[in-house]
Amino acid sequence: MAKSREHHWWPVGHQKHWTNKSNAINILAPDGRHETKKVKNRKVGKKSHGHTTLRGGPWETNFEDKFEETDNRIHQIIDAINPENTVGSKWEYFKFLIKQIGKKDRKLSDICKFGRLSKEDDLFLLEYILLLLIRWPSHRAVMEKYSILKDKDSVEEIGKGNMLIKVRTAEDILSRKVISNHYYVFIHSFGREFILGDGMLDGLTSSLTGLSLQGHALLPLTPSLCLYICTPTKMRTDVNYAAFSAPPWMVDYANEITQVYSKDQLFYRKKKPRIEQAFSRAEFCSCKYNQHPLIDHLNSITGYGSRYRKLSGEVVEKRLFGGPLDDLL
């Protein structure tokens, strides 16, 4: 059982993918204060006894161990979905894009490469996503809101108890032979970089109340890779992911979402982001229904939430909005 009192909501192994040339992480606060911290000092993305419930009593439970095995696989997971394995080399992908230039009414799916992760990689990735989202500060804040008590210790205790329930539900789902439909979109960027924050767009963990998985989430995994996951009702059996190289405006959209959902910290590798109004409020904010123009574009690939039924019974294709689709290439 884990003995340390410092529990990381952002795994140290994962942090190494965000370090600058000095092996440090750049951190930006809502008021514009900037600092850098060395990953080796293990002072980033942590909370004292963040995964210990009922501390000091006979029923004390430490669930830090629930994350350790999955966290140790982070490099294997990221290697499995890197550009070489999902869109090919830069030159191969460039040649692929050239072929799309002459297409009329070009869609986002036209610049995607499609494939299927191995069963092992799929399970590892899904497990990592769920366990990362569950302990992320923005989700912890949601779990603490269920408390009717007001003192800080009691509120935190309720939050940790709810997190543990989510972890156990995720374990039950992952242990089943058949898991609900889930589709990944790997958004690679060969230029402009993604940022990360202490909040994420997460419409997925709220479904962890039964044995099915429903919803969608957006996770910046590295400065050059952002992941979108959703649960369409129908999908092909031979495909469970799409991958493409994002234009700069799409990276900006993803970073805008990160700032909306984050409260205290933004993490970046090179260029310091301009602080948006939402992040400057120093609150965990959200987009209405966890929707955003970027999510609409991604759903045009996956088919998730892209149709709705009118009162007349007619099925209508959801209108895509925002983002210059003509600038995809």
Read off the pLDDT of residues 193-246 as tens digits, 9 standing for 90 and up.
Answer: 999 999 999 999 998 887 789 999 999 999 999 999 999 988 999 999 999 999
- Any residues with CB less than 8 A from the CB of 279 and at least 6 apart, and which? 30, 197, 259, 260, 262, 263, 266
> Would you call 6 helix, strand, or coil by DSSP?
strand
Calpha distance 135→137 (Å, rounded):
6
Q: Check whether 322 has a pLDDT greater than 50.
A: no
pLDDT score, position 314: 55
Count the residues in the chain: 329
Domain boundaries, the chain: 6-303
Calpha distance 258→196 (Å, rounded):
6
pLDDT score, position 47: 76
Q: Is residue 125 within 8 Å of residue 82, measured between CB atoms?
A: no
Read off the pLDDT of residues 31-52 as tens digits, 9 standing for 90 and up.
Answer: 999 999 999 888 898 876 566 7
List the one residue out of 233, 190, 195, 186 whose CA is nearest residue 214: 233
Answer with the residue of higher pLDDT: 17 or 1. Answer: 17
The rounded Cα 230 to chain-centroid distance in angstroms is 11
Instruction: Output the CA–CA distances (angstroms, integers) from residue 224 to 36, 208, 232, in the order listed.
Output: 20, 29, 26
Give me the helix-helix angle, 119-135 and 137-144, nearest 10°. 60
Answer with the residue of higher pLDDT: 56 or 68. Answer: 68
Q: Is residue 205 within 8 Å of residue 166, measured between CB atoms?
A: yes
Token pair recorded at residue 15: 């942090």
Residue type, position 252, single letter: D
Model pTM above 0.85: yes
Q: Is residue 156 within 8 Å of residue 49, measured between CB atoms?
A: no
Q: Check whether 117 has a pLDDT greater than 70.
A: yes
Count of alpha carbons within 13 angstroms of residue 184, beta-carbon side: 28
